[in-house]
Each structure stands twice: as structure tokens, then as C-alpha cells.
Amino acid sequence: MLDADFFRRWMTATAVSVDREAQRLTDLDSAIGDADHGSNLQRGFTAVRQELEQERPGTPGEVLALAGKQLISKVGGASGPLYGTLLRRTGKALGDAPEVTEAQLAEALRSGVDGVMKLGGAAPGDKTMIDALVPALDALADGFAAASAAAEQGARDTVPLQARKGRASYLGERSIGHQDPGATSSALLIAALAEAAEG
């Protein structure tokens, strides 16, 4: 079973890898965006980590609600409301249970990803975070490590795509040949799930 501590570890591990990969995320965003994806997420997940330490939320749903709220309020870019919606919707689907199963988390994440698609209007293949998140969901039944590998593959598979949503879409065909920054950070988020499961 996955308790509030697991979800705290998930958010903390994400914050650590966002810190470690911030330059890479910003470099990817400088090729097809405005060179702020790393700093956007660093600001957001630093706030998430601080808030989790101060508030000590007691259930998985509360951990994700609090994290999502921080991302929405602290990140100016498109990714803040999108990741915030992902975590808030996922948390809402988990309700107020003190512990949840992996299957419940997988189902909740699916409603979170649906929320992102509704908010941003992106579908698979549009060269966004959705291209890492949807393959991760599909692999989640095989465990966190499989989901993480699928998300990384999904992020790499954005390279030949032309962006149809977000800032990168303004580049038209010139967005082809670059890995999407948001798909790359989504792979970090899913990889952090596997890290949280290791304890």
C-alpha cells in the first residue's frame, strides 16, 4: 500500500531530479521555447518541498492537492497549471484514503492526465508532456520501473514530431528534431515514482 509518506517521497524525489536536470530542461526549452522550463519547475518544486515540510499533509490526496496548488500558484509558465492540474486531479481521485493501492494510483493518474488534456487541449502526438504521460499510464500495470522506461521512451519519441500545442507550435516545422522539454520533465516525474517505491 502507498501512504502519505510514499507521496511525499515522490514529490521530494521529483524536486531533487528537477534540480539536477534543470539546465538540461532549460536547454531543451531554449531550442523550441523560451528557455525557462528548468527554472519554472525548480521554482515550483522548491515551493512544493517547502510546503510539504511545513504542512505535513496526512493522506495521499492531501499531499497531491497541496503540491498541485503550489505549482499552479508559483509557476508562471504553461507547465505550472498543467502539472498542477495533473497532481490536483490525481489527488482528488484518491479521495481521503490514508493508503492506496498501485492500481488505485494508476486509475487516479489517468484522471489527472485526462484533466491535463482537457485544460491544454493536447492529444498524443502533439509533442507535449502528454507524449510521456500517456505511455507511462499504459505501462503502469507492469510497475513503476516499466512506467518510467515508457515515459523516457515517450519523451525521446517526441524528437521527430512537430509541435501542435504550446509555445513550440509557433515554430511550425522548425520544432521538428528537438526533444520536448515538458515530455522530458514528465519522464522525471514518473521516474521519481520508481524512486519513491524504493523507499
Q: Write out the residues near ligand ADP by the rule CB under 6 A.
A: 29, 33-34, 36-37, 40, 77-79, 82, 116, 120-122, 128-130, 165-167, 180-183
Helix (H, G, I), strand (E, B) or coil at 42: helix
Q: Which is nearer to Mg ion, 4 or 32 (CB)?
A: 32
DSSP 157: T
* Cα 166 to Cα 128: distance, rounded to the nearest angstrom: 8
Q: Cell numbers of 132, please? A: 510521456
Binders of Mg ion among 63-122, rule CB under 5 A?
Answer: 77
Q: Answer yes or no whether residue 34 interacts with Mg ion by CB under 5 A.
A: yes
Give 20's contacts (C-beta < 8 A, 6+ positions apart).
Answer: none
**CA–CA distance, 146 with 34 (Å, rounded to integer):** 32
CB atoms within 10 A of CB 25: 24
Q: Does 29 bind Mg ion (CB under 5 A)?
A: yes
59 or 90: CB nearest ligand ADP? 90
Q: For residue 57, give the 3-state DSSP assignment.
A: coil
Question: Which CB sits closer to ligand ADP, 57 or 166?
Answer: 166
**Measured from the CB atom, is 2 or 168 closer to ligand ADP?**
168
Work out which of 21, 36, 62, 180 binds Mg ion, going by CB under 5 A.
36
Q: Decide if residue 21 touches Mg ion (CB under 5 A).
A: no
Positions in the binding site for Mg ion (CB under 5 A): 29, 33-34, 36-37, 77
